[in-house]
Amino acid sequence: MAAYINEEAKINRIRELIPILNEAGKAYYSESQEIMSNLEYDRLYDELRTLEEETGFVMSNSPTQNVGYEVLSELPKERHPEPMLSLDKTKDVAVLKTWLKNQKGILSWKMDGLTIVLTYENGKLSKAVTRGNGEVCEVITNNARVFSNVPVTIPFQGNLVLRGEAVITYSDFNRINDEIEEESLKYKNPRNLCSGSVRQLNNEITAQRNVNFFAFALVSADGVDFHNSRKYQFEWLEKQGFTVVEHKEVDSSNLEETVKWFADKIVTNDFPSDGLVITYEDIAYGLSLGRTAKFPRNSFAFKWKDELAETVLREVEWSPSRTGLINPVAVFEPVELEGTTVSRASVHNISIVEELKLGIGDRITVYKANMIIPQIAENLTKSDNLAIPDTCPVCGHKTVIKQQNDVKALYCVNEKCQAKHVKGFTHFVSRDAMNIDGLSEATLEKFIQQGFVREFADLFHLDGHKDAIVDMEGFGVKSYENLMNSVDKARNVTLPKLIYSLGIANIGLSNAKLICNYYGNDIQAVMHAKTEELVCIEGIGEVIAESLVDYFKDEENLRCLEDLLKEVVIEKSEENDGEDNKKKLSGLTFVITGSVEHFANRNELKDFIEKNGGKTTGSVTGKTDYLINNDVTSTSSKNKKAMELGVKIISEEGFLKLLEKEE
């Protein structure tokens, strides 16, 4: 920490630190952006707090005084009966020991999500609110009712108030992010995703996010004797059906080894945690200590003392994404951190590159944020000579630096950049299209970034990059061989699947089958189809027809298809001519909505209908014969439309009975 000559210099430093920390906090909590590392934020925060203690000079806008940020949601708001304070914190186990003295304590995870207060009356959940800014909270009762593990009713019939943390697991976080196409719309971390999920206006979205609730404090329970024990409170909450935060009883003799036990376990946890919390086991003793203006005195937070390793920056990879954003990734000499070897860390954006003053060959220190995510802590050399690329590493097009919310980022502005079309490649290899196993979206993105894949036909020449693929993270000889076998199988394909795989707007597999059947499975005829011909096909409207015709008008699309046709053999599709009339569902049109039970998924049901001569479409119209929905009484838009048009709504059971009648 810097040495300060006099009080005036200390006060000036306080004035410097406050806007820096407030800007970083606002970016992180309100805008889901990161303009400095967690380690740097904690260092500056601790410096500020020490200076305030030394000088007695505290400004009203200091982050040490603000319990939280202003609530910005449209949810109903109300005031907490009394302020919800944050906890004092340390990274030193010795401080915890001094604080605990000769008392017993309860040590538990400090979950990294959103704090929620639940109220139960007469055994039923009556209210749920967020912590908000500590003074004003948001009412999220409807959302809490759909948390994956919150009981709506409990055995206890009195008034109960408890606090806990709503969190989203890393596995659910990754699942949800994988479903988001736009890179810029992906969530930065589970905490941000949880915050948005808990505060949704539509609790159906909350339910889909699989939010978990971990109880960490019992505020009050009418008439229950807890024997003056926090541990007993936790046991009682578990009996009521709540998931209680994992915890252990400690005293000064086993505190250090218990902290180490948690530290060893965090690396395998599926839920996010940014430290530990210790609370006095003796409830009355803890409450007798009262509180400061900012902190209660009965609990203390422990944040991990980040394990730092010094290494050398060898290169920065510039990784383009689907939105054109080019992310800098630091590659350094491998080091051991928290029991694993790391050699890469995201630098996030140009602003952080500039703040760190990076240069190739610089000595840097690295750590794992929350003991999981590798980050650069500090650049010891600060050569500041890193060249920002002026061309995209994938397409070679000119790059630009854009600034949004005071954050600079590098972008490729070429609309035809292959990196922007990874979703098209993902669709091409999907099960209902070319069905090439072993090519996840992440793998395709790597192949595109490395220049292995520029068009669909290139996927059939991956054998030319064998050595590089085998050496890639997550691959090996066996994975490579499995991929090549899958590619070879994909060389034999039906024309409808080939047309569907191209990703033509509005052309689904069902439409592709109708079109290909009409043109006798002749690829040249499909490529030269006219709009007036296509609209004559039952089930093909003008929008679909124009999409197909426009696609084949594009010379680049035609060139890529010609290259692709050199790699594949088009198999003859099942002939429907003359046989449809003999099939059970001939002449019937179906729409499928909701979940299915008798089939693996809706696509399997769709294929079954089509194999039996029926047709499937995506929307209910006057030409629809049946809407299949297992919830026949649903008030969904499709059910309403079907009722308006007089279309029969049947369940899967009804559909199977229909098949029996047709036999």
CA distance 109 to 535: 62
CA distance 494 to 501: 11
Burial class (CB in 10 A: 0-12, 13-18, 19+), 329: middle
CA distance 558 to 504: 12
In order, the DSSP letters of 265-302 are HHTT-SS-EEEEEEEESBHHHHHHT-B-SS-BSSEEEE
Per-residue CA distances from 530 to 18, 185, 293, 525 (Å): 67, 38, 76, 9
In order, the DSSP letters of 605-645 are HHHHHHHTT-EEESS--TT--EEE-S-TT---HHHHHHHHH
423 is catalytic: no
Backbone angles phi, psi at 137, to 5 degrees: -120, 170
User: Which residues 6+ apart lie within 8 Å of 264 measured at CB?
Assistant: none
399 and 412 Cβ atoms separated by less than 8 Å: yes
Tell me if residue 488 falls in helix, strand or coil. Answer: helix
Please pick, among 77, 97, 104, 110, the residue that the annotation labels catalytic: 110
Comparing C-alpha atoms, which of 512, 518, 510 is closest to residue 498? Answer: 512
459 and 453 Cβ atoms separated by less than 8 Å: yes
Backbone angles phi, psi at 306, to 5 degrees: -60, 130
- Residue ranges of the alpha helices (H) in 101-248? 141-144, 170-178, 190-198, 203-208, 230-239
CA distance 580 to 613: 5
239 and 224 Cβ atoms separated by less than 8 Å: no
Per-residue CA distances from 232 to 225, 276, 288 (Å): 10, 20, 19
DSSP state of 153: B
Query: How many angstroms separate the most distant Cα atoms in the chain?
Result: 97
Burial class (CB in 10 A: 0-12, 13-18, 19+), 341: exposed
The token duo for 156 is: 């206890």
362 and 383 Cβ atoms separated by less than 8 Å: yes
Burial class (CB in 10 A: 0-12, 13-18, 19+), 43: middle
CA distance 12 to 40: 20
Burial class (CB in 10 A: 0-12, 13-18, 19+), 366: buried
**Active-site residue list:** 110
